Amino acid sequence: MPKPESGVRRLGRERCGDFGRVHAAEHGSDFCQCVAWWVATWEEWGGRSAEQNRRLRSELFERGEFDGYLLYDDGAPIAWCQAGPRDRLTKLVRTFDLPPDPTTWAITCFLVVPAHRRTGVASRLLAAVLDDLPRRGARRVEAVPRRPPAGEELDELDLWNGAEEMFLRAGFEVVRDATPRALLAMNLSV
C-alpha cells in the first residue's frame, strides 16, 4: 500500500479537487476561492457572491491558471498558498503602483484549515514555495501582509495575505512601510 502523500505540491489540474477541499464550507473558507486579487477592484469585490467566486476560480482553472501550492499531511490537503507572476494581478500592481517586471512573483494568500492553524504550517509552506520559485523563473518575490491600525491586533481572518512576521523571518525586507498593507520583497537566488 502506498504511503499517503505529505509535503508541498504545486497546484495542477489533478489537484483542483484538493484546492476545493481546503476552500470548503466546513473550514469556513468557501467564499473567497482565492480570487480577491483577480477581481478588478475592491469595490467590485465587495459586491460578489460565493457562487461568483467559485465560477471565477473554475474559469481560472479552465484557462490553465494554477496559481499556487498545496501542503499535504498524511494524504489530506491542509493548507494553500497563492503564488504566481505578480504582473498578472492587475489590481495588485495598480494598488501598489508597481512597475512591470516579469521576473517578480507575488505571494498573495495563505489558507490553513482550522485544525492546523498556529502550528507553523504557513511557515513550512512559505519555505517550500520560496525554494521552488527560482525553478519557475522568479528572481524576486513580493508580499503584501495586512497591518493592524495602531494599538489593535489583527483578527485571524485578516491574515489571509500571511503574517508580516512570517515573511520577515523568511528573509523578506520592508520595501514600503505603510498601513494597512506593507510591501515586502525578497530577491531569490538562482
pLDDT digits (tens, 9 = 90+) for 99-115: 999 999 999 999 999 99
pTM higher than the cut 0.85:
yes
State the pLDDT at residue 4: 77
Can you name the CATH fold of 7-187? Answer: Aminopeptidase (3.40.630)
pLDDT digits (tens, 9 = 90+) for 138-176: 999 999 999 988 888 888 878 899 999 999 999 999 999
pLDDT band at residue 1 using 50, 70 and 90 as cut-offs: low
Residue pointed to by grid coordinates 473554475? 58
Q: Are 87 and 142 in contact (CB under 8 A)?
A: no
Cis ω for the linkage preceding 77 (within 30 of 0):
no
Rounded mean pLDDT, 34-61? 96
State the pLDDT at residue 189: 87
